[in-house]
Structures are given as structure tokens and as C-alpha cells.
Structure 1
């Protein structure tokens, strides 16, 4: 694992040796006493979330409560472990589709948003089958693919949820996203976004590992990965293969077992 981390660090150092393709946004005059970082975040277009839509898509962490508690526990464990290791980039993926990875990623982002001293960015990189825009109830004018290609600035495409969560979403399915995810230009844009907005955590919603090569193409750009598996659906051999594949490219932060049925509750009902 130490050799793997050393290789990842070396790769990041080599990436920073080239000029990023993303443009540094112009900072508009902010409020008196407002830092440049605060002004950049405030300049992002706000996204007003619709409560019924959030509930329909099981996004439960915008407010504290019983439903949010499992994700709040996950948020705290993830944040503390990443901070302990000096990690900032988290990939969320699964062995197979329909495991709840995008729901987990969005709930984690909204839960982090309740921590006012933290700033988080979530990026939808499941480009063949994007769903974050559906979960958040809005379709962006331009896609995250346009940001990664350098056609559009992150400042003009990303949306802000509250004061401290930014989201960059895909608009329409991409038939061949590997060319984008594997591109060194994409790595440079990610570096530029991180250097400009200085988030505490960047969350990347990636495709399921075993359906194509998209996630393998991008994992070199993250510090760690969280694997989401679905109870009574994900097979052990699928999880085992997925975990080994991820471990070849980055650190496995942990596993989330989703859709577990409370047997005691189901019997009482």
C-alpha cells in the first residue's frame, strides 16, 4: 500500500508540472472583509433544491434527523480518515449498477454541507449514465464534459448548494467517455479546480467498475475510493473483483452495504 501511495504521489507531482487547461476565474468584488476564496464560492450560481424531489430520490441529509443519521456516521468516518491520511479526493463507485452509489455520493455531499466550516465539491463522472442532475432536480445548461475539455470554465458551469457545496453535473449521456476520463487534460482541469476553490473534499461519482473501463481510466486522479454494494444483489465475486481492481489504482477507503432490510422491523410490520 505504501508503494502504491508513493506512485500516486509521484503521478500527482508530474501532473502539476504542466500548466492546467482550466482558466482561473476572474474574482468579482466581494463583500468587505470577504476572502478571495469566499468570493469565488459566492460567485457560483446557486441551486435551490426542491424538498419533495429530494425525498423522492432518498436524499435525506439536507437536514439533521433520524433518516440522515446513517449517512452522518458515514460522513464523519470518511472525513476523519481522509484528514488523517491527508486525502482530499474521494471516488464513490460500485461493482455493478443500481447499487445506490450516486445516492450515497449526493447524501454525503449534502451532509458535509451542514458542516459550515467545510467546503465540498461533487462531480458527476458517470458520463454514460448520469443521474446526479435527476437527484438534485435540475439539468445544467452545459455538461461537466465541457468543463473537463476546457470549453467551459468551472465557474460558469458549476452550481452552488448553500454556501459550501458545489456540484458539477453531466447533462446528457456520453457514448465514449473514456477518452475524457483517461485524458491528461482532465487531470489538469481537476488540479486547477482544486487549486482555485480549495475544497476540503472532492467527491467523484464514478461508474460501476465491472461494466466498462471508465472508472479504471480515472482512478489515478483520486486519493481513495468508497465501494457501495447492494444487499442481496451484489455477488461476492463481483465485490472481490471490484475491490482488487480499485486497489491496483488507489486506496480502498471502505465499503457501504446498501439496502439492508431490518429483519426485526419487517417482522413487526
Structure 2
């Protein structure tokens, strides 16, 4: 950690009680974020059925949202990694739909972070231009108010556009933990969803798990084998609790 990065975190660390600057008021901080609102056509193209509720599939995400938030509340948790065994299972699709389902609860603040630094694409799905790369943010080079984008008053995104081939090493750096703790302190989110790269293809998910409270596994109908899902559960459950396994695209050929 260089002197500039230390200064950034020191400047945003809590002041003595009774002398807190306005930026540490979560309401003020949320109001200060840049705003970008995808239109209904873009959300439909990204298959974010939870946003408009025009498709009956939104009910499944409402159920998952409520059960997940209850489990988090019971345990005092807020950070969830959304991970799939391999690509093609739909972890980003699930992440976005869970986020928009949660955002319909006016008293729930949700933050979504695109942690698939190998192939970031949430920005493309939402057609939002990321102001900086996630790698720069996790390195402490960018203040959260200059990086996060609000799509709704209680829903914010940390996006990225450029791939990084050193993501596993970055996730294990002390600065990443410090930056995420700072985010939690400033925004006081009820739910933080981390869209992760495939768990069986890279060690990124394992490297990042110390920064979360629990894991939601997304299996793909016709994509994930029973062996893949069992292996992911065994590997990840040794580090963090598994909230559950969601079977996506269950209408197709299902192997689990």
C-alpha cells in the first residue's frame, strides 16, 4: 500500500463520535452517487425480469430474494458471492435479477459488484459506461463516490470494462479487504452481491471468499453436471457457508 492509497483510506475513515462529516451519513452518500438508469428495453434485452415484473419468472426471484434476505438477517450477514461451476450457467443473470428484486424493497439498500474481472460484462448488459475499472477501485486508487453508479435510489453498481489477468492475486491483497470494508461503512448496504467468475475454472472465487459472508451457487440446466455442482459445494463450503444452489434454465435438459 503506497502513501497515496493510505491517505485515501485515512481520509474516509470514521471521525470521532459526535464529529462525523456529512459524507459518512449513508443517506447523503447514496444521494451523492452518479446516476444511470437503464430503460425498460435495455433491461428486457438483459433479461432482468425482476425490474418490470412483466414476465412470470420474476416470482421465482422474489421468492429467492426473500428467503436469502431472511437468512442474511438471521445471521447478521450482508455479503454474498454468486458463483457458478463453469461459464454459461447464468450467474450474472441471477445476480441482476436478485438485485432488482431486492431494490423493489424501499427499505433495502443493495450494491452489486462485478468481480468477474476475467470477463466483466455487467456494464454491457445494462448498457452503462463504467467510469473506471474495478481493478483500479480495488487497488485503492479511486474513491467510492467516483466509482459507484446508482440505477435506483437504493441500488448501486460497481462495474468494470477491462479484463484483468491478476484478479486472484488482487483479491487476496489487503487493500481489497480495506476497500470493501470502506464501502460497507459508507453505504451501510443491507445486501452486497458479488458476481464471480466460474469457480471451477479459476482460483478467483476461493481467493475472494474471505471478503464475503456466504455463497449462492448457480447451476445451469443442461450445462452443469452433478459432479460439477458437488465439487463446487465441497470446495466452497470448506471456506464459507452455502446459502443454496439455484438451478437456472430448468426448462431445458437438466442433469442435476
Q: Do both proteins adopt the same fold according to a TM-score greater than 0.5, normalized to the shorter chain?
A: yes
Pair 1:39 & 2:63 matched: no
**Structure 1 residue 63 displacement after superposition:** 2.7
Does the 8 Å contact 2:25/2:186 carry over to 1? Answer: no
Pair 1:24 & 2:12 matched: yes
Residue of structure 2 equivalent to 1:231: 221
2:102 to 107, 112, 122: 112
CA distance in 2, matches of 1:196, 1:205: 21
1:59 to 44, 48, 67: 48
Deviates more, 1:46-55 or 1:216-225: 46-55
Deviates more, 1:137-146 or 1:212-221: 137-146
CA distance in 1, matches of 2:247, 2:195: 17
**Structure 1 residue 20 displacement after superposition:** 8.6
**Structure 1 residue 185 displacement after superposition:** 0.9
Residue of structure 2 equivalent to 1:218: 208
Partner SS, residue 228 of structure 1: strand
CA distance in 2, matches of 1:115, 1:256: 22
CA distance in 2, matches of 1:202, 1:240: 25
Q: Give me the CA root mean square deviation.
A: 2.1
1:184 to 174, 179, 193: 174
- Structure 2 matches for 1:1-269, cutoff 5 A? 21=9, 23-24=11-12, 27=22, 36-65=25-54, 66-261=56-251
CA distance in 1, matches of 2:99, 2:168: 25
**Structure 1 residue 110 displacement after superposition:** 0.8
Q: TM-score, normalised by structure 1?
A: 0.84
Partner SS, residue 247 of structure 2: strand
**Structure 1 residue 22 displacement after superposition:** 7.4
**Structure 1 residue 134 displacement after superposition:** 1.4
Does the 8 Å contact 1:109/1:120 carry over to 2? Answer: yes
Partner SS, residue 78 of structure 1: helix
Does the 8 Å contact 1:20/1:192 carry over to 2? Answer: no
Partner SS, residue 167 of structure 1: strand
**Structure 1 residue 198 displacement after superposition:** 0.5
CA distance in 1, matches of 2:224, 2:57: 24
**Structure 1 residue 141 displacement after superposition:** 2.1
Query: Gaps spanning 5+ residues in structure 1: where?
Result: 1-17, 29-34, 264-269
Does the 8 Å contact 2:40/2:52 carry over to 1? Answer: no
CA distance in 2, matches of 1:71, 1:202: 16
CA distance in 2, matches of 1:43, 1:181: 27
In structure 2, relative to structure 1, the CA distance for the partners of 1:108 and 1:95 (3 Å cut) is: same
Residue of structure 2 equivalent to 1:7: none
Does the 8 Å contact 2:83/2:216 carry over to 1? Answer: yes
